A = this chain, B = another copy of it.
């Protein structure tokens, strides 16, 4: 799970840096956006739960990893642009991995089951939400219901499996694969919950 976490923050930092480049940010801004996206979800979760110290404060190397990933992504921007589908894939993996990691953190804090699932979804979603706030955009998650819903579904599946006695590592793996497949299917087939704005053009994340 720790390896998946590192892969997820690297992927998040890289894909977000590429987005930031289109908005005319400089190197510092790209690195900041990459680090905020990758570490922001866990930070919001920990502040809301009162779970101190924050992960990146006890492990500052996480910050360097995300900044390096964002910088490398920006430097390699041209060739990586052709790998867009790879990033969508790794981003989906990161979303689900963040959700399960967030569930584990909350589960250790003796809160109720709905809050555990919600903490997972916050971990998966809030990094991107902070990035959108910094970039002065309306958060994508408010328009893309099958981003947050996938995080909620993966967390619910994870908790339910553990509740019926499945061992933790198995439950993690099943929830990871299930959520990952759901997210990829949502992107590929452009699934959306019924929106109130039918005219709204549904951009793929």
Q: Is A134 an interface residue, CB under 8 A from the partner?
A: yes
**Chain B residues in 8 Å Cβ range of A112:** 60
Please report the C-alpha to C-alpha distance between residue A193 and residue B30 in the assembled complex, in whole angstroms: 12
Contact across chains for B142 and A27 when beta carbons are under 8 A apart: no
Given contacts A134-B139, A139-B134, contact A196 B48 (CB under 8 A): no
Interface size class on chain A is 35 or more
Given contacts A74-B196, A136-B138, A138-B136, contact A143 B24 (CB under 8 A): yes
Query: Could you tell me which residues of chain A, from 45 to 73, have a CB within 8 Å of some CB in chain B?
Result: 47-50, 52-54, 57-58, 60, 63-64
By CB atoms of chain B within 10 A, which of A54, A57, A74, A195 has the most?
Answer: A57
Closest to A54 in B: B48
Residues of A within 8 A of B (CB): 21, 23-30, 32-33, 43, 47-50, 52-54, 57-58, 60, 63-64, 74, 77, 111-112, 114-115, 118, 129, 133-139, 141-143, 145, 148-149, 192-197, 199-200
